[in-house]
């Protein structure tokens, strides 16, 4: 399995961040992806689309508006 960042990695923690997941060099659709938000260590999760892409909001949850 390979997880490839599609956005500039220096922007992690500043809003949405997109990744693409591959398995045996092919996009891997329909899998759960979990990550930890920057700053507060809360979990965030998503599911890859048909192209193996997933977008996660990695912003510190204390900075998110209600």
- Domain spans in the chain, listed from the N-terminal domain onward: 2-63
pLDDT in tens, 42-52: 899 999 999 99
Q: What is the pLDDT of residue 60?
A: 67
What span, in angstroms and rounded, lies between the C-alpha atoms of 13 and 6? 14
Spell out the residues 6+ positions from residue 10 whose beta carbon is closer than 8 angstroms to its own. none
Q: To the nearest whole percent, how much of the chain has pLDDT over 90?
A: 55
pTM: 0.81
Q: Could you report the per-residue pLDDT of 2-51, keeping only the tens digit for each?
A: 999 999 888 877 888 999 999 999 999 999 999 888 777 789 999 999 99
C-beta of residue 45 within 8 angstroms of C-beta of residue 37: no
């Amino acid at each position: 399995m390979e997880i490839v960042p599609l956005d500039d990695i220096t922007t992690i923690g500043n809003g949405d961040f997109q990744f693409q997941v591959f398995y045996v060099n092919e996009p891997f659709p329909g899998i759960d992806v979990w990550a930890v938000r920057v700053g507060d260590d809360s979990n965030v999760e998503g599911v890859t689309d048909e192209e193996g892409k997933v977008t996660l909001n990695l912003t510190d949850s204390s900075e998110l508006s209600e």
